[in-house]
């Protein structure tokens, strides 16, 4: 580690992940270029089948992005104008944007201080005659409280969409997240645990009617060449991304395992000094981010930066305080746990290629900073 003000340890290192698989990827790309088939070809089909079999789920559909996966799932479930959809304010904006895209109203439920996921004890109070669905986010790779959420869905006849953009391979009671609600939505944005070399997404479901609907929606409602049964969209995964994802899918368990090892090390060093992510029983957290909470965030981030180590605040503004959602009429104080979390969270570098020795140095540096 150097004391220069230049970042030497990034939040993630996509080049390091590429290195050991680059020859395999070059060959796959060459095959696609030679084949001339770039959209909805054999790689997309094979990738869908491979993911479906990894998840033990009936259907998986490649899409253009995680945002589209959420949007098209809501569409396929019939969520529309004047419906309400419950979700967390402590997430990436795409979760709630998708709700707005179908004309429905996002209704934010505050989070749990420790898991940073939706506080399930606060959901019921927000359910009204208009509530149709819940979008549950498995934030930073930590599975949310699915039993309680499924219980509410049953009681009030609500649809459940899982936003698994940060949680590929995470498990809740042995079940992989994404295969618990009505639809599971994934992003393959390059920084995600399973990352493409461009944009990509996926929707998975065990229900035929949702699958058939999204399958048509992603390709202009095309039932046969130039025959369209309804107005759809262009939201397809391309062959190049699918081929890259097929290669990376073979390593996803190993990638996640390495993230978990690094997280365990961070927690063993920092666990007594600072609030670290929880390892809950019956759940496999896949640490898309390793996020601590501290009132000394500025000081820690400053020291890390001085030592060439990155750190990032995910997320500095909860969605109910975002200008984009001003029209919903929330004000400061409405969702206090989310607001405090936004002031205290700090995500540390975590990626499969990060060395354990480096994580140990980072952990010890933070420990020293807290004690100084
Ligand atoms: C990344 C992300 C998305 C959006 O995925 P894109 O592929 O970038 O559209 C949605 N929700 C969450 C929680 C995310 O982290």
Burial of 129 (0-12, 13-18, 19+ CB in 10 A): exposed
Q: Kind of pairing, strands 84-87 and 131-137?
A: parallel
- Dist. CA 128 → ligand 1 center (Å): 27
Q: In what order do the strands lie in the sheet with 175-176?
A: 175-176, 171-172, 283-284
DSSP state of 219: B
Q: Is the CB of 210 under 6 A from ligand 1?
A: no
Mean pLDDT of 207-231: 97
99 touches ligand 1 (CB under 6 Å) = no
**What's the pLDDT tens digit per position in 243-279?**
999 999 999 999 999 999 999 999 999 999 999 999 9
Task: Note the pLDDT tens digit of each residue in 287-299.
Answer: 999 999 999 999 9
Residue ranges per structural domain of the chain: 17-109+116-249, 251-371
Give the pLDDT confidence score for residue 372 in this predicted structure: 84
Residue 5 has pLDDT above 60, yes or no: no
**How many Å apart are CA 167 and CA 285, to the nearest integer?**
8
The answer to whether the 17-109+116-249 and 251-371 domains have the same CATH topology is: no
Q: What is the pLDDT of residue 2?
A: 46
**Ligand 1 mean position, distance from CA 35 (Å):** 31
- Domain 251-371 classified CATH 2.60.120.10? no
pTM exceeding 0.75: yes
Closest Cα to atom 5, ligand 1: which residue? 66
What distance in angstroms lies between residue 73's CA and the mean position of ligand 1's atoms?
14
- The CA distances from residue 258 to 13, 117, 252, 359, in Å, are 14, 23, 10, 12
Give distance in angstroms: CA of 364 to centre of ligand 1: 32
Query: Mean pLDDT for the chain?
Result: 97
Sign of CA dihedral 226, 231, 237, 240: positive
Q: Say yes or no: domain 17-109+116-249 is CATH 3.40.640.10.
A: yes
Measured from the Cα of 201, ligand 1's closest atom is: 7
Tell me phi and psi for residue 369, to 5 degrees: -65, -40
Count of beta carbons in the 10 Å neighbourhood of residue 323: 7
Angle between helices 252-270 and 239-249 (to 10 degrees): 60
DSSP state of 38: -
Report d(CA 147, CA 283) in Å as an integer. Answer: 12
Query: What CA–CA distance (Å, rounded) separates 341 from 141?
Result: 17
Q: Please give the distance, rounded to the nearest whole angstrom, from the Cα atom of residue 288 to the centre of ligand 1.
A: 12
* Residue 304 scores a pLDDT above 80: yes
């Amino acid at each position: 580690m150097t004391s220069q003000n230049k970042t030497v340890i990034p939040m993630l290192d996509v080049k390091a992940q590429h290195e050991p698989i680059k020859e395999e990827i070059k060959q796959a790309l060459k095959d696609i270029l030679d084949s001339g088939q770039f959209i909805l070809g054999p790689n997309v089909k094979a990738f869908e089948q491979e993911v479906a079999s990894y998840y033990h789920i009936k259907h998986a559909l490649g899409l253009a992005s995680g945002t589209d996966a959420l949007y098209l799932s809501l569409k396929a479930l019939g969520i529309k104008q004047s419906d309400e959809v419950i979700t967390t304010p402590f997430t990436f904006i795409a979760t709630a944007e998708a709700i707005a895209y179908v004309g429905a109203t996002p209704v934010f439920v505050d989070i749990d201080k420790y898991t940073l996921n939706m506080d399930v004890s606060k959901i019921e109070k927000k359910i009204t005659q208009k509530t149709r669905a819940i979008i549950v986010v498995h934030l930073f790779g930590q599975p949310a409280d699915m039993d309680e959420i499924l219980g509410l869905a049953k009681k009030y006849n609500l649809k459940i969409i899982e936003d698994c953009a940060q949680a590929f391979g995470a498990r809740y009671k042995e079940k992989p997240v994404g295969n618990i609600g009505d639809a599971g939505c994934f992003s393959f944005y390059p920084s995600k645990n399973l990352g493409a070399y461009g944009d990509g997404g996926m929707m998975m479901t065990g229900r035929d009617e949702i699958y058939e609907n999204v399958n048509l929606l992603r390709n202009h409602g095309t039932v046969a060449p130039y025959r369209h049964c309804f107005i759809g969209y262009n939201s397809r995964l391309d062959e190049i991304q699918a081929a890259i994802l097929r290669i990376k899918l073979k390593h996803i368990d190993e990638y996640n395992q390495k993230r978990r090892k690094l997280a365990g090390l961070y927690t063993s060093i920092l666990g007594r000094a600072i609030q670290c992510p929880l390892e809950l029983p019956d759940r496999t957290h896949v640490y898309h981010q390793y996020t601590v909470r501290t009132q000394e965030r500025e000081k820690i981030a400053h020291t890390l930066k001085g030592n060439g180590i990155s750190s990032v605040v995910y997320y500095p503004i909860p969605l109910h305080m975002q200008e984009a959602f001003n029209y919903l009429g929330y004000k400061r104080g409405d969702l206090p746990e989310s607001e405090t979390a936004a002031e205290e969270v700090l995500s540390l570098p975590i990626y499969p290629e990060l060395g354990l020795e480096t994580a140990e140095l980072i952990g010890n540096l933070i420990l020293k900073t807290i004690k100084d």
